[in-house]
Structure 1
Amino acid sequence: MPEPAVPSVPSASPAPPAPPTPPVSLAALLSREDLGLRQIAGPPAADVRVHWAHTSEMSDPYPYLLGGELLLTAGVHVPEAAGSGTYFDDYVARIVEAGGAALGFGLAPVHDTVPRALVAACEAYGLPLVEVPERTTFSGVARAVWQLMARARLAELRRISEAQQGLAAAASRPDPVPSVLRRLAGRLEGRAVLYGPEGTEIAAAGREPGGEVRRALEELARFVTGHASSTATDTVAGTRLAAYALGTGQGFVLGVAAPHRESGDHTIASVAAVLLSLLTGEHQSGTGAGRSSALVRLLLGARREEVAPLLAGGGGEAPRWHVVHARPDTGTPDPVSASALGAALGSPLVDTAEEVVRVLVPVAGSAEPAGTTSTTASSPASPPAPQPGWVLGVSAAVGPAEWPAADVQAARALARARAVRAPLVRHGDRPALADLVPAGEAEAHARALLAPVAAVPALTETLRAWLSLHGSWDRTAVALSVHRNTVRQRIARCAALLETDLDDPDVRMELWFALRDPRPSE
């Protein structure tokens, strides 16, 4: 069987994030009578998926493509003798190499027909070629693409919402586990299986697959119980397979086999996995009581160090923890997705506040939090790993007394991850040159240096983000969710109040050392 895909393992060169809407069929775009588009080369439009539209007159568009584009060009870049050489072959080969979905060629204002050599090259390389009439603007084509994607996204959200409601209703029935499996199998038009700790089939629903697919699904279920990932996928005999380790601590796995994979299917299956985790989990009286006791003691004034062992599921020395801040790639988090993220990271200690989910995750070698085991995706045996569909910021490993500082670290790491478009950024907590200065002296110097701007938290936070991102206005704006002009105004204000030249690297270094500790500006 092919090696199962393990989403939680980051690649050396991560692929660019997908757009916030599902792709659309090129056939749907060609069916728009107002555009008048016509395919003249390449594979059938029904088999082509377009993620976005991009206009370029570069002779080599490769560096500017992310993959999945309908590339639009008027042929301004085409030299006069292009038809007699290899120009079009090289041009089309580069588009295909970049992952372009299709090429749209405009009949105005440079060309009145599509060059024959371009048609031949697209046919040879299997790139769909679309003729764009003179009356149709490229902006009109791009707008139509986004309109179709918005409709597809709305249909996807409606389908997911209906599936969530149906699965929740099934979970409330007298026979909840079989009901959830039946509802899931019906939604995916396939097979849903609950496997026990020994890999045995406990319950199933839906159409029985062939022997090869059944054995492959069993193997995939065993794979997720023996590895760090909580999810794995594979394709066997044209059937899409997926396995989800349930965060119950008992080794249960949800297996899914479907003849096709629609947009949103993974989300629907993940919801079912969360519900089955709750239904198959061990009785929560002990762990629930421990968390309730921890909350009561905190409210009554107990120290975090005293409460942490209760959260860790027992006595013993208080463990060390990571604080994780997370934001979904699209939309805002909901309780179901937040719980699923917590299960994937190996902790039930999840808090959802506005657009950010915070998770308290134990460090390797520490006691595991109540209700978790090493079968979850990023178990306490490994640091938090990237999670599909999320952007994460991870703090240093800290004890309970340092949780507030770690919360700040995780927030800043998340801001940097969003700014640099990385799936995960960790707070760098290692000995450095600044550690040679006694903490008290360093804090006093930082307070004095930052005093002119300390009264305005927005200024210090903007200065900190701007310095951490090497003076990039755009990345700082993304990290702080403000306009780049706002960043420029705040940095100019900082320079004026501090009466210093922020272009001087020595000044930047000294300010960065002062801003490393969250206390001086808080």
Structure 2
Amino acid sequence: MIVGDLLELDDLHIEVAWAGPHLLDREVTGVTSTDLQDPARYLQRGELVLSGLVWWRPDEGQAAMRFANALRIAEVAALLAGEGTHGTVPPELVEACRRHGIPLLSVPAGISFRSVTDRVYLRLWGDLQATDEGKAALPAAARRALSRLIRAEAALDEVLERAVADLGLPDCSLTTGAGRVLASSAPTTPWTEPRTSPRSTTAPVPVGLPGDSPFDGWLLQPHSEPGPTATTMLHGLAELLTPLATRARATATAQRHTGTRLIELLDSGADTEAERGLALSGLPARRRLTPVAARIDGLPESWTAAALAEALHELPDPFVAAPDGRGGAVALSPAPEEQIAQTLHRLLPRLEAVLPSRRRLRLGIGATVEPAADDLRAALVQARYALYTEPPGAVGRCSRITSLETLLRGVPAEITADFRRRVLAPLIEHDRTNTVSLLDTLDAFLRHSASWSRTAEALHLHVNTVHYRIKRIEELTGRNLLTLEDRLDLWAALRCVG
């Protein structure tokens, strides 16, 4: 497929805004959608780039030039600019594309990017079929029948059922790398064992290229051990399904780009643009949203975003999940907090099972709020804080921060350790060189609401001994345990992890 083929798709009404000689002959390898101002790191050579131009503002003179330069660096095939946001394609963008040699095509406001993406991948798939005809391991009649189903956008379950019936294959499922079932020829559980699991008894067949993370990519998983002929047929079926996997990955990438831009706008305080981005994100309008934060220490944030999306696909509602530029990822979902928490808790072991080197996934959930930029920004802060209120491998929830102890868990360990050391240093030094622990005495005294008699009973001491030790604690720390303020400081220091 070449760029000029887009002009032959009459129902899409795509027109040339600018293209130099021979630029419409550029070969197309794929399609991606983005509204990032600098998307270069997300683009591949030969891709068509769809953009709604949400990033463009008339008062930023160099914005169009920076965007076109990013496309030039990535060596994309062409830019398709949607006219739904600003009307006609801005002259500044036309000039920028001319300067950088990027073919620029316009997509009318009434044409969805999804329809453009689908038509491009169907065309690419047709080219692939023509190139590979006779090479695949499927009988011609069965291949044609399955191809007709795929072109008609039949449900994947139906495609697999037909393949099993026509080719004599064992029942099989189409899954993600982590084991989430996308389709199956027979009833099965929503998740299968991931390919890395020792409990996985049959080897899956990759569908298309492997993903960037263990959560990306599709696998064809037979339910029972196939024979040699069936194995060959499964590889042929995987070939046939590859364009669908490629299209799904492109859609996910486009959604991630949209989410990245939205999170950037929310974090930066650009409320007007953020709310416009929210309207274009695909999230249901006027529904309350729940933010979720995630982090996998030591792994790319793109992996974290993919893991978070994999879990949220379990819920029926649409969502946005994207890297947050801070080493983690965040998501916005219209599902209620409790439903999200239960889903994440249930799926955490499965998600962590495919991570390398025993890495752990942290998750935090903020408050469910109205879809207003300032409310969402506050809820995102809560979700990121909640990440650290529970240990890795658990789900932190801002709504569960109901005590000083849970509040302190979210404070970075470097801060709490320093606070503990500064407040309790004299007692720590005392206990290091003495058999009597003043730290234990202080903890018992505060736990028993500063009751002399109950502290003495708990420590099996005489009351006078407790009086002596508390006086010694006050002398060493310079605190007065008769005042609430000093008690709270010491209690907080004891609760901080050293």
Q: Which TM-score tier does this pair reach, normalised by the shorter chain?
A: 0.3 to 0.5
Q: Which has the higher helix share?
A: 2
TM-score (norm. length: structure 1): 0.34
Larger Rg: 2
